[in-house]
Amino acid sequence: MNKKQLNEFPSEVIDKIGYYVYRLIDPRNGETFYVGKGKGNRVFQHMKGAIDLKGTDSISEKLNTIYEILNAGLDVIHVIHRHGMDEKIAFEVEAAVIDSYPNTTNIVGGSGSNDYGPMNALEIVNKYHAEVAEFKHRVMMITVNKSLAEKGLYDATRFCWKLSESKLKKVEYVLAVKQGIIIGVYKPTAWKRATIENFPEFHTDIPERFGFVGREADPEIQAIYIRKRVPDEFRKRGAANPVKYSL
């Protein structure tokens, strides 16, 4: 069988491999640009998506990368990272692999990566040994594990998130959370839609999302929350949404 032309698995292969976790690799630089899970011919469906959406405004970074590879006369390298799993195990393996390749085009982290992703030994101790926070205010908790790698803490916390407009009016403080530990407390003074007009410094225009302008909370407020652990009730295993509320 010619690997270059492979765009689907034979039926007898599908019957044996079950759920699998895969990586898409760019042959131009050898880098993994997407991690996914699925069964059947899921691993090959991204190629079709790139071709179908060619030239449209809705094409994602992942599909655009695939299109550029094909346009260069090359083929995406499909690697089946682990197979023969049930769906539950595949979720866990996918999350671990995504955490191992932080620069992929995946829009969100893997299942549970916000609270159970990579940590050094000290972070593990802090996470499970830290005092549990007691919320004395109406707060929004934002997990900044991924955005913190690209921005300072304030900017990583304030921009830009898919938020409930009705809940925004009730929020007194925004807590920046890393691996389940509160590392920043901010007082928002204004919530604005995530447009270039409102936030020119971010060069991003996603009007269905929001960001805030604010300041660090007063020292007495920070003392209540900083280095405290988010209560378990707000850290449901497998939850991918980085935003949670205590209102």
Q: Domains along the chain?
A: 3-108 (3.40.1440.10), 121-246 (2.30.130)
**Alpha-carbon distance values, 205 to 85, 88, 214, 225 (Å):** 40, 36, 20, 32
pLDDT band at residue 3 using 50, 70 and 90 as cut-offs: very low
The b-or-e profile of 68-79 (16+ CB within 10 A means b, else e) is: ebeeeeebbebe
The 10s digit of each residue's pLDDT in 101-160 is: 877 877 666 555 666 666 777 777 767 778 999 999 999 999 998 787 778 999 999 999
**Alpha-carbon distance values, 106 to 48, 59, 151 (Å):** 17, 14, 18
pLDDT at position 145 is 81
Calpha distance 241→221 (Å, rounded): 25
The 10s digit of each residue's pLDDT in 49-61 is: 676 665 555 567 8
Higher pLDDT, 63 or 187: 187
pTM, rounded to two decimals: 0.58
Phi, psi of 123 (to 5 degrees): -65, -35
Span 221-239, average pLDDT:
85
Q: Check if the beta carbon of residue 38 is closer than 8 Å to that of residue 24.
A: no
Residues in the chain: 247
pLDDT at position 241 is 82
The 10s digit of each residue's pLDDT in 232-247 is: 888 766 567 889 999 8
- Mean model confidence pLDDT for the chain: 86
Angle at 193 between CA 102 and CA 107, to 5 degrees: 20
Phi, psi of 153 (to 5 degrees): -60, -45
pLDDT at residue 2 greater than cutoff 50: no
Q: Check if the beta carbon of residue 235 is closer than 8 Å to that of residue 182.
A: no
Span 28-36, average pLDDT:
92
pLDDT at position 29 is 92
Can you say how many angstroms the Cα of residue 39 is from the centroid of all Cα atoms in its chain?
22
Calpha distance 116→171 (Å, rounded): 27
